[in-house]
A and B are shown apart, each in its own frame.
Chain A
């Protein structure tokens, strides 16, 4: 039981890291294309209209690809006014509560996000932009990130029930 749990954890941990690296690569990619755009234009070349739009979509994927990794590392911004001063017992309770809320929120958003994606897929909705990509490609970033994050919160929940202080 413990072994297979560890194995599972390891797999998801790898997946999170992979997504985060992908996100970092995307960030470098948008810096590159915007720079390239400016340079070409400076030398009298014409403008590539897709640059701004691709950067916007990339930003979305950077965010949702990177978020699960940060959650795994407990690196998201926390308002630590009260939480840090708690002793072990109440801290465990609060931690369980937080993991539960996080799991519920991310879980619901995963499911509803998938619904929205399927709906946009079936109606063929497109973005109202220069490139007019199918919207579901864009929207899919959200359930992807939320799905991975609900797994992380679930793991936090499991750890909390076992009495581990994170």
Chain B
């Protein structure tokens, strides 16, 4: 079977099942079940599906998602997040879209601690969106910035995906980590321009806060009370990694604890708040993990059919210039992200792409940077980008999938723009690397 037929045959039922309202996780399970039965020798294929599913969930790389969920829920339920926004309102109340900008800022900040964008969404989504909504922010301005900026997690070191890329592609991890910083900041900049522009054109999306002239002293005291203690939380995540006290995954746990301690110190951690925090963060983790595991085993099935390899070969067989082929590779990666997880995509494409890029004589670090932006774009792309489902799990009740898709699209366009800029201006990547490694 041609690769596109295979993909259609496998993706078709997935579309239909999800479209009919079967929960996403079970739609994946159903397709995986039938697929492994047909492809991998009947019942033994299903036995293998059980083993693969177990393997995909019991993974240390997923632990930060659950732990950041605790952090986000604790911030929201103990009112720490609300205080933070109140204080920001006192300072920047007249600035339209200030909370959306804060989400981007938060994305940048938290990107310094995890290589997994889902952890970022978990944290920012659960702590910020309910309150943003209350303050009259429309969905594109509350969900979008979080979806967009969460992807910065893999663009700013430490980034476990960048390291995995270095390992699979056998290129310098250090250079990749330096090379992706400017692209990451470029993306953040594009998001900010978009937010400011859209708020200017459609002011109703992000209402300003009518500040009844707050005295300066009150602003300062609010900052001291509500924002400074957050430095403790930030330290417990970023600081411990920086000082070599914890690995990035472990830092999620210290962050969760620091948030609980902060809530307790402010006498907000009643037994009810604590119980609710743990119960709902466990619940959301369950939804997300079940989907992630379904998606991982789905990717394995796709890889087994050889369709993904066929897709890769088809792109390489295009009769276009070398640099156009490189661009097509990057676009293929973003496309695969619409229905596959980052890791399987990397395992399938990198060992094939990187030697070709080298053979063409291009800089592999430049390629790696665009590649990671593409991976990131794919993860937030409809219909099946995993980040979208995570957002759906943490978003306030009543948020539809269509809301999330609509919110994501402008940020995907920003990402594609970033890829184009990097493609035409490789110096954005290579200059900092040369500076550091001369």
Contacts and interface: CB of A to CB of B under 8 A. Distances in A.
The answer to A–B direct touch (Cβ < 8 A) is yes
Interface of A: 20-21, 23-28, 30-32, 34-35, 37-38, 41-42, 52, 55-57, 59-60, 62-63, 66-67, 69-71, 75-84, 94-95, 97-98, 101-102, 105-106, 108-109, 112-113, 115-116, 119, 138-139, 141-142
Contact of B245 (A34, A41, A98, A139): A41
Contacts of A82: 19-21
Nearest to A120: B51
Contacts of A84: 21, 400
Contacts of A37: 250
Contact of B58 (A57, A80, A116): A57
In this complex, the interface size class of chain B, counting residues with CB under 8 Å from chain A, is 35 or more
19 contacts: A27-B281, A30-B67, A31-B253, A59-B57, A59-B58, A62-B286, A63-B57, A63-B285, A66-B285, A70-B287, A75-B287, A76-B26, A79-B24, A81-B400, A82-B21, A97-B20, A102-B26, A109-B46, A141-B54
Contact of B253 (A23, A24, A34, A79): A34
Contact of B20 (A23, A70, A83, A113): A83
A34 B58 CA distance: 16
Interface string B42-78: 0100110111011001111011001100100000000
B393 A77 contact: yes
A63 B59 CA distance: 12
B46 A112 contact: yes
Contacts, number: 185
A116 B282 contact: no
Contacts of A21: 279
Contacts of B30: 101-102, 105
B20 A98 contact: yes
Given A27-B70, A42-B245, A101 B22 contact: yes
Contacts of A97: 20
Given A20-B279, A77-B393, A38 B289 contact: no
Contact of A94 (B20, B33, B290, B389): B20
B23 A38 contact: no
Contact of A98 (B21, B62, B289): B21
